[in-house]
Chain A
Amino acid sequence: MDIQSPGKLIELLDRHAYLADEGLATAAFLALRMGRPLFLEGEAGVGKTELAKTLAALLRAPLIRLQCYEGLDAAQALYDWDFARQLLHLKAAEAAGVTDVGRLEGEIYDRRFLIARPLLKAIETQPSVLLVDEIDRADDEFEAFLLEVLSDFTISIPELGTIRAETPPVVVVTSNRTREVHDALKRRCLYHWLEHPGYDREVAILLRRLPRCTEALALQVARAAERMRQAGLVKPPGVAETLDWTEALLTLGAKELNPELAAATLGAALKYREDVVSVLGGGLLSHD
């Protein structure tokens, strides 16, 4: 797909109901053009993962997701051999009276016994969008390993040889910044810090994503979200949460935000009890 400018990409993303600003669009545009991974950092719920999903839809490419966690290692991220099937194959060969050891060894390290984990899958699938989600949760050994894969998009498997991506996948790496990610990895990437959207953009996002939402409700929800983000809560709501909240309000048939409806649905936006208490008690939702 030929995308000539960041402006064009904004349009295309909009068609998939993702409203990007110029910064994010330029970041994604350059990532596509330069074949570089895009490192997206920002608080939870600002739309990092959503961007990867939308890019996949837009490029008509499968989204391959690697969710990071502590202890994640190469066998879970790259590939693994299917030992059970290999053993079965050996048993079967033995039963059939095959004794040629060299031949047997060649057979059990065949591609069909290889289980592709997300990174190998992304390199083998073209085109594809690879989402490395929440890299800050993996430990630093994994970062070094990922850096290696992302540097040349090749994976060498001792028993099988080197597998190289003809066209590198589009890579989106996200971090919630619970931990500083090593600079060597960021250096490989384009770095973008994603902020919560401003009031106007949030209204636009609500209306774009939830066609049933009235303008009055969108304005009120966006205003409330803006106040909540300034109120120093434990976990201020992200766009994902305001969307959930609005959806909850719509499910109750709300046309406008009032204290009763808000109290009934606030759990969709806020995930800590002390936040709910301080928002309801602090008058953050009263009059607009």
Chain B
Amino acid sequence: MTDQDAPEDAGGLVATMTGFARTLRAAGVAADHDRTQSLLAALAHLDVTDRAAVYWAGRLTLCATPDDLPRYDRCFAAYFSGRRATLARTAVTSVTRHLAAREDPGGEEDGSEDATAAPATASRAEVLRHRDVARLTEAERAEVHRLLALLRDRRARRRSRRFESAHRGALDRRRTIREALRKGEVARLRRREHASRPRTVVLFVDVSGSMAPYAETLLRFAHALVMSEPRATRVYSVGTRLTPVTAELRHRDPGTALNEASKVIPDWSGGTRLGEELREYLTRFSARGAIVVIASDGWERGDPGLLAAQMARLSRQAYRIIWVNPHKGYEDYQPLTGGMRAALPYIDDLVAGHSLAAYEQLSERLAHA
């Protein structure tokens, strides 16, 4: 077959195209080596002097999601007009820096720089457990994040349509007869049962300005969920846009995962237009049968009516909707913001999300959902 064919006299073309792929990678498109090879193979069948043909060959081989397409268009225009796609790159560095500025100075294990944060006794840890993460020192926050990384969720399971063999359950005709054919007689009856699978959790993390003190901790919680059930957890950041960050959060190391996620989130500390974003989510994806967790304080900038309508749609699809509001942790809290009021009728559980203990409770709730 022709996958291996390279265009003749391809030196210049190969260099140009690998350079282009590199530019795309810098802009966040997963245009790796394999995909670059596919691009070169594709170009062997097309007229490489035709700009449109090159555009399509690249788009068809280097992109993998609709989110890649605007980045691809930007990079293509910039790269093939001679100007490299520096814009996209600066955008990425600036958010990385944004997050780096808020990163714990001591890093992962190192909370000891701060002399006052002496060896934590059990009671200190217990106190820490219940304190609002927004009011912790950097060292304390690092400790909370370390504990958060150890969180393992024991997710509620659901019955799958898929069968697996079991000791009890319905007769597995296929296996029984197959065995009988092999042995010449029915030695024993085989049985099968529906397999059980973890319920999918779809988590929306509000990264808008008012949630800034909690966003990082929430993403670390999200990371712990992704680590526990990588195939059954989907995470999106919300603010002024909906951004899928599950792939980024699959890195084992929480620091790296967070850093990767922060690179793709374009709207740190903006406003919140949750209604529009949920609508986008529901148009593009589905939450059928999932436990939906929305972590937000409900300071909605958009139309509360739209939010209510989308929550209604979501509640028809989802198995359960849990709303995590950091302010819920305070006794005098009342859900009075416009967004909260609009969403309230469709929420199954409204829970706190301000402390380590609150996250542990949330994880417990996922186990019994």
Contact = CB atoms under 8 A, between A and B. Distances in A.
Contacts of B161: 69-71
A182 to B, nearest CB: 9
Contacts of B64: 183, 186-187, 191
B162 A83 contact: no
Given A23-B56, A192-B60, A71 B160 contact: yes
Given A33-B45, A234-B313, A190 B60 contact: yes
Contacts of B1: 34-35
Interface residues of B, number: 48
A14 B282 CA distance: 34
Contacts of A41: 66
B174 A83 contact: yes
B45 A73 contact: no
A73 B2 contact: no
A39 to B, nearest CB: 9
A179 B174 CA distance: 31
A186 B32 CA distance: 13
Interface stretch (A24-32, A53-61, A242-250): A24-32
Interface string B23-53: 0000000100011001001100111000011
Interface residues of A, number: 43
Given A83-B181, A186-B64, A139 B162 contact: yes
A180 B244 contact: yes
A95 interface: no
A22 interface: yes
Given A86-B181, A87-B177, A187-B35, A30 B60 contact: yes
Contacts of B162: 70-71, 73, 139, 141
A30 B174 contact: no
Nearest to A234: B313
B61 interface: yes
A83 B173 contact: yes
Interface in B278-313: 279, 282-286, 288, 313
Given A6-B46, A34-B1, A232-B279, 9 more contacts: A26-B46, A35-B3, A41-B66, A70-B160, A71-B162, A83-B178, A101-B184, A140-B231, A183-B30
Interface of A: 5-6, 22-23, 26-27, 29-30, 33-36, 41, 43, 69-71, 73, 75, 80-81, 83, 86-87, 90, 101, 108, 139-141, 177-180, 183, 186-187, 190-193, 232, 234
